[in-house]
Amino acid sequence: DAGITQSPRHKVTETGTPVTLRCHQTENHRYMYWYRQDPGHGLRLIHYSYGVKDTDKGEVSDGYSVSRSKTEDFLLTLESATSSQTSVYFCAISDFEGKLFFGSGTQLSVL
């Protein structure tokens, strides 16, 4: 793995509770991304960041917020989790050549 750590690896939570997923990189890359992966939909971009405090929406951003207070950390928050947000979440970073490197993923179950 290209210095990307996601935590937690697995989480089970209840509908309506807040959830924060963390992505940590040791590569000092500018761009970071959050994706979700669901059967039949492939990988879909939720939010991405192009620097500290600089973030933008992806194609499925509703119900999610992100924050990046340090280069190495990119947080994804579900303010009030819903069952439709049960998914596998992947964090990725982009190097200077534009190649993406992914973390190992977080399996989130919202009951």
Partner 1 sequence: DAKTTQPNSMESNEEEPVHLPCNHSTISGTDYIHWYRQLPSQGPEYVIHGLTSNVNNRMASLAIAEDRKSSTLILHRATLRDAAVYYCILRDPREGGNQFYFGTGTSLTVIP
Give the residues lining the site for partner 1 (CB under 8 A): 31, 33, 35, 40-45, 48, 50, 58-59, 90, 92, 94, 97-105
| Shortest distance, position 43 Cβ to partner 1, whole Å | 4
Say if residue 18 is preceded by a cis peptide, omega within 30 of 0.
Answer: no
Q: Residue for token digits 């990189």?
A: 25
The Cα 73–Cα 93 span in angstroms is 11
| Shortest distance, position 102 Cβ to partner 1, whole Å | 3
Of 2 and 75, CB closest to partner 1: 2
The Cα 25–Cα 71 span in angstroms is 8
| Shortest distance, position 15 Cβ to partner 1, whole Å | 26
* CB of 37 closer than 8 Å to CB of 69: no
Of 44 and 63, CB closest to partner 1: 44
* CB of 68 closer than 8 Å to CB of 75: yes
Of 58 and 63, CB closest to partner 1: 58
| Shortest distance, position 95 Cβ to partner 1, whole Å | 9
